[in-house]
Amino acid sequence: MSRENVMRRQKRLLAAIRRYVVFFLLIAFVISCCMLLFLHTMQTAVEISFTEKGIKTAAILTMGNVLLLSLLCTVIDALRRRFTVERPVRQIIKGAEKIMRGDFSARIASLPGIVGADGFDIIIDCFNRMAEELSGVETLRTDFIANVSHELKTPLAVIQNYGTMLQSPDLNEAQRMEYARAITEQSRRLADLITNILKLNRLENQQIYPAAKRYNLGEQLAGCLLHFETTWEKKNIDIETDIEEEVFVESDDERLSLVWSNLFSNALKFTESGGTISVTLKTEGDFATVKVADTGCGISPETGKHIFEKFYQGDTSHATQGNGLGLALVKRVVEIAGGDISVESEIGKGSTFTVKIRRAADGDIQKDT
C-alpha cells in the first residue's frame, strides 16, 4: 500500500472519530434536556395532584420543549451543512468554472480540520492535480503549435525563395539545377517533419498497437546499420561493432527499427569526417543493452536534460538539418516496448545513447532454435 493511501486511511479514521465525538455531544445534550424536562414535568404533576389542568400544562410544556430542541438541532445541522458541505462545493464549482474558461492556474485551497473530513479534502487534492496536469498539457500544446509553425515556415520560405529565383530567365543550367536540388531537399525535409508528427501523434494517442514477435536483435541492428553504408563511406567514418550473438527480444520489430535508424542517423549527422561510430549489443540479466556511441560534437548537460523533448534541438543554429522530433519519437517507441533510453555526452568528445530492452526468456529461445 502506498504512503498516500495510508495517509488517506488515517485521515478517514480521524474524521470518523471527530464525527463520533460531535454526535455523542449532540445526543448527550438532547437526552439530558429530555430527562430534565421529564423530571420537571413529573414534579409539577405531583405538586398539582395530576389535575386535568396540570396534565394539559405538562403536555403543552413538553411539546414546546420538543419543538424547541428540534428547531435547535435543525439550526445546528444547517450551520454544519453550510460550512462542511455547501462551502466546499461552492469552492469546487468555482474552480471547475475557471478550468472550463481555460484558466488552468485555478487551484482550491485545502479545507481545515473537520470541514475537509467528509472526503472533500481528497476531491480537492485530485482537482488540484488535474488542474496541474491540464496546465502542463496546455503549455506543451502551445509550445508544440509554436514549434510546428516555426519548423513548417522555414522550409516553406526556402522553397518559395528558390521557386521565385527559378523563374528568372537569366539562370544558367547549373544554377537552375542547384535551385531545384534545394527545393527538393527542403520538400523532403518538410515531408519528414509531417511524417514524424503523424507518427508521434499516433504513438502518443495509442493508435499504433505493437505487433510483438520474437526475433534476433543483433541481426536487426546489423541490417539497420548497413542502410547507412553509403553515408559513412562518403564521410570516411569508421564503424566499430561488438554485437553479441543469439540475443532475442520480443517486441515490434518495425517500431524498434525506427529507433536504431534514428540513433544511427544522428550519430552520422553529428560526427565529422574521419570520426568513429561504435555499436554494441550485450546481455545484462533479463535485458538486452544496445549502445550507440560517436566521436561527434557532443552535447551539454543542459541539452541532455531536454534532448528527448519534442522539437528540442541542441543545435540552436540549425546548422545541422533536423526537426527535433526524432529522439522524442525514439523515446516514445522505447517506452511502449517497455524499455529505457538514456544518453551520456561531453562537449567535444561525442555522445553515447543506451537503450535497454527486455529480452526473450532463454527457454523460449532454445525452443525456437
**Using CA atoms, how far apart are residues 352 and 369, in angstroms rounded to an integer?**
33
Residue 254, all three cell numbers: 518495425
Same domain, 108 and 29: yes
Same domain, 47 and 177: no
- Tell which of 171, 204, 237 closes a domain: 204
Strand partners, 21: none
Same domain, 8 and 79: yes
Same domain, 217 and 319: yes
- Domain presence at residue 315: yes
Same domain, 198 and 287: no
- The reported pLDDT for the residue numbered 238 is 92
- Domain presence at residue 130: no
- The reported pLDDT for the residue numbered 278 is 93
Same domain, 150 and 253: no
Amino acid identity, position 31: I
- Domain presence at residue 281: yes
pLDDT in tens, the chain (369 residues): 567 667 767 766 776 677 677 767 777 777 777 667 666 666 665 555 555 555 566 666 666 766 776 777 778 777 877 777 778 888 888 888 888 888 888 888 877 655 545 567 778 888 888 888 888 777 766 766 766 676 677 778 888 888 888 888 888 888 888 888 888 888 887 887 777 677 666 666 654 555 678 889 999 999 889 888 888 888 999 999 999 988 999 888 877 888 898 899 888 888 888 899 999 999 988 899 999 999 988 887 777 676 776 555 554 433 344 445 667 778 888 888 888 999 988 888 889 999 999 888 764 444 443
- Domain presence at residue 124: no
Same domain, 19 and 63: yes
CB crowding 333-364: b at 16 or more within 10 Å, else e: bbebbebebebebeeeebbbbebbbbbbeeee
- The reported pLDDT for the residue numbered 369 is 39
- The reported pLDDT for the residue numbered 352 is 92
Same domain, 232 and 195: no
**Using CA atoms, how far apart are residues 116 and 129, in angstroms rounded to an integer?**
17
- Domain presence at residue 363: yes
- Domain presence at residue 279: yes
Strand partners, 15: none
DSSP helix/strand/coil, 170:
coil
Same domain, 182 and 258: no
- The reported pLDDT for the residue numbered 4 is 66
Same domain, 107 and 194: no
- Domain presence at residue 50: yes
Closest among 209, 298, 215 to 257, alpha carbons compared: 215
CB-based contacts of 257, cutoff 8 Å, min separation 6: 220, 223, 224
Q: For residue 185, give the CATH number of its domain.
A: 1.10.287.130
- Domain presence at residue 134: no
Same domain, 251 and 360: yes
- The reported pLDDT for the residue numbered 38 is 64
**Using CA atoms, how far apart are residues 318 and 147, in angstroms rounded to an integer?**
13
Measured from the Cβ of residue 262, the count of other Cβ atoms closer than 10 Å reads: 21
- Tens digits of residue pLDDT in 246-293: 899 988 887 788 889 889 988 888 888 889 999 999 998 889 999 999
In terms of residue numbers, what domain contains 174?
145-204
In total, how many domains does the chain have?
Answer: 3
Q: For residue 275, give the CATH number of its domain.
A: 3.30.565.10
Same domain, 191 and 266: no
State the sign of the Cα–Cα–Cα–Cα dihedral 344, 275, 324, 334: negative
Place of cell 411539546: 63
